[in-house]
Amino acid sequence: MALRQIRTEGDPVLAKKCRPVDKMTLRLKILVEDMFETMYDAYGVGLAAPQVGVLRRIAVIDVDGEHPYCFVNPEIIEMSGEQTGDEGCLSVPGKTGTVTRPERVKVRAYDINMKPFELEAEGLLARACCHEFDHLDGVLYVSKVEGPLRDVQPYEEIEEEEETEE
């Protein structure tokens, strides 16, 4: 496994629509492993393939550190309710903003072995699905933010502080 470079806002790859996966390959399986590693390393709860420069419809999510999901060609087939809360994105480091999303979504996708599955998600997991799947259409959360983007401490700085403290 390897860490991949996370593309940041302004990189044209983040504004493009991704192509569906028609066949799982070893190369794409390695991509998924690398995406998980890169997401955990950056303290993220989700990462989409275009964020590491690959224009394929693949996203990984793990909102509690215990339930890793890989979504291939995901689609939101039902949504209900509403939640308004703060979001951040590894491609927009040091920022957060308020976004309204559905409270519940039903997702249809394929897993890493191209086996179809459905997932009913609510709360943070539903929010993460909406955010990550938007990336696959070239949409960043900053285009949906209500009010201003606010500054937060980027994870690199937090890490540096932790290293200094040791």
Question: What's the min distance (Å) between Cβ of 135 and Ni ion?
Answer: 6
Q: What are phi and psi of 56, to 5 degrees?
A: -125, 150
Give the number of other CB atoms < 10 A from CB of residue 153: 10
Position 99 contacts Ni ion (CB under 5 A): no
The verdict on whether 162 is a catalytic residue reads no
Identified binder of Ni ion from the candidate list 18, 89, 107, 136, rule CB under 5 A: 89
Say if residues 55 and 16 touch (Cβ distance below 8 Å): yes
**Positive/negative CA dihedral, 141, 143, 144, 146:** positive
Region 11-70 residues binding Ni ion, contact defined as CB under 5 A? none
Q: Give the nearer residue to Ni ion in terms of CB position, either 60 or 72.
A: 60
Residue 128 near Ni ion by CB under 5 A = no
From the list 75, 82, 120, 132, the catalytic residue is 132
CA dihedral 134, 43, 32, 12 (to 10 degrees): 50
Q: Point out which residues bind Ni ion (CB under 5 A).
A: 89
Residues with a known catalytic role: 132
